[in-house]
């Protein structure tokens, strides 16, 4: 039985390799940080983690996790509603609500699950979801699992969104779904305009804050801070795997009744394990750190502005960004892989992205800045980009 299927798989894998698109995982042998060591012992500066606030190896978070593991054990061995809820989970949900100025929060094992389990419990075939074309895969999957009528608008295109909202007047309820920051370009969704259109056409709004929370807005409270819409958006989702510590865990936060119904009906919540107490405790410590002061967010903003300005001045084609993502456009898939490999030789760790992660002909290197980057690390990164850019004919 397996031999025919095996041949088919081998052919498919060979095609991926021949196209130069095979993803090899590079192995790191130190904690996640702005400076890491890869297998073989080489030290590299890391520019491709979602470690925006540099918390992935933070001592206070590690201690909080250790303390809670000693006090409350390793795992919950249960889903939340059977016997998987400790006080720490409730405290973390409260801390997330306070951070975003929302009414209530529900935790998931990952934001992928938060998005996957969001739409189906809330909407039926009578309703509509109007989704940005560049939304994250987990929103797309969540929408697929729901019977609501689907509408799609071009990325950040408000004229198109308005057209789709007009068409969606045929349905009972409407929800606009968007990423806060689009992870491949680093642009922020135009939430002020989205909110206006939502008012005009009687729609709810859902924003995935995965790449924006902790990053965007003057004090890093996300897109609702940036657009002065704190507490106004019905549904926000997010992750503990990026700015908020870089571990695992996701959440949906927003209106009380929405969160209540998700606790009753959301399948990844009902049928998947609770996050371990130590992860919840480290999450709680993260929000304590972020309400203490804005040192980390300020440093991230400063680092990002510096890096982007220097790269533009060097002549690189940089996508307009309003986040900690800096997309260095190369347009060619193979070149993006060669460029990333040459940078690694120079001690700079980045990833080249190409189709289908980005549109055909839009290959790039995505640089992600962190509050943990030192001035020296930033300067080394920029110098290496310029050296490789000249060697590969990207810069003159």
Ligand X SMILES: *Cc1c(COP(=O)(O)O)cnc(C)c1O
> Given the rule CB under 6 A, which residues bind ligand X?
110-112, 115, 136, 138, 179, 183, 208, 210-211, 239, 241, 250
Considering beta carbons, is residue 55 or 388 the nearer one to ligand X?
Answer: 55
What span, in angstroms and rounded, lies between the C-alpha atoms of 253 and 247?
19
**In the complex, what is the shortest distance from the CB of residue 380 to ligand X, in angstroms, rounded to a whole number?**
27
Supply the minimum distance, in Å, between the C-beta of residue 246 and ligand X. 10
Alpha-helix residue ranges (DSSP H) falling in 266-374: 267-270, 277-292, 295-314, 333-345
Strand-pairing partners, residue 237, are: 208, 252
Token pair 């206070």 in the structure block, residue: 60
CB of 180 to ligand X, least distance (A): 7
* Nearer CB in complex with ligand X: 97/183: 183
Residues belonging to the active site: 183, 211, 242
Instruction: Give 38's contacts (C-beta < 8 A, 6+ positions apart).
Output: 26, 27, 28, 29, 44, 344, 349
> For residue 263, which phi and psi values (nearest 5 degrees)?
-60, -30
Q: How many angstroms separate the Cα of 356 from the Cα of each of 14, 80, 324?
A: 17, 36, 22
Q: How far apart are CB 365 and ligand X at their closest, in Å?
A: 18
Name the 3-class secondary structure at 166: helix
Q: What would you measure as the largest C-alpha separation in the chain, in angstroms? A: 63
* Residue nearer to ligand X on the CB measure, 209 or 339: 209
The nearer residue to ligand X, 107 or 128, going by C-beta atoms, is: 107
């Amino acid at each position: 039985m397996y031999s025919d299927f095996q041949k088919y798989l081998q052919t498919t894998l060979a095609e991926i390799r021949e196209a130069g698109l095979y993803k090899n995982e590079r192995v790191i042998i130190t904690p996640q940080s702005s400076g890491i060591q890869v297998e073989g012992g080489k030290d590299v500066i890391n520019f491709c983690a979602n470690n925006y606030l540099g918390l992935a190896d933070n001592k206070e978070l590690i201690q909080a996790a250790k303390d809670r593991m000693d006090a409350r054990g390793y795992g919950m061995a249960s889903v939340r509603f059977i016997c998987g809820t400790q006080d720490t989970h409730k405290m973390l949900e409260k801390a997330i609500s306070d951070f975003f100025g929302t009414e209530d929060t529900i935790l998931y094992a990952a934001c992928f699950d938060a998005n996957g389990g969001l739409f189906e419990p809330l909407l039926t075939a009578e309703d509509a979801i109007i989704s940005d074309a560049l939304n994250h895969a987990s929103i797309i999957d969540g929408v697929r699992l729901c019977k609501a009528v689907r509408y799609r608008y071009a990325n950040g295109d408000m004229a198109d969104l308005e057209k789709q909202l007009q068409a969606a007047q045929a349905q009972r309820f409407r929800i606009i779904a968007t990423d806060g920051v689009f992870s491949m370009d680093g642009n922020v969704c135009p939430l002020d305009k989205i909110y206006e259109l939502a008012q005009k056409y009687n729609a709810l709004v859902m924003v995935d804050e995965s790449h924006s929370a902790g990053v965007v807005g003057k004090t890093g409270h996300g897109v609702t801070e940036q657009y002065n819409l704190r507490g106004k958006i019905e549904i926000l989702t997010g992750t503990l795997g990026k700015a908020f510590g870089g571990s695992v865990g996701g959440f949906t936060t927003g209106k009380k009744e929405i969160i209540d119904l998700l606790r009753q009906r959301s399948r990844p919540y009902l049928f998947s394990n609770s996050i371990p107490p130590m992860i919840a405790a480290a999450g709680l410590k993260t929000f304590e750190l972020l309400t203490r002061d804005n040192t980390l967010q300020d440093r991230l903003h400063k680092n990002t502005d510096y890096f982007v300005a220097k790269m533009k001045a060097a002549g690189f084609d940089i996508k307009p960004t309003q986040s900690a993502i800096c997309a260095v456009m190369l347009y060619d898939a193979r070149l993006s892989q060669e460029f990333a490999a040459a940078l690694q030789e120079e001690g700079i760790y980045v990833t080249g992205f190409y189709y289908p992660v980005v549109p055909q002909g839009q290959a790039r290197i995505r640089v992600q800045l962190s509050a943990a980057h030192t001035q020296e690390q930033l300067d080394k990164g920029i110098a290496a980009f310029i050296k490789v850019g000249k060697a590969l004919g990207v810069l003159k």
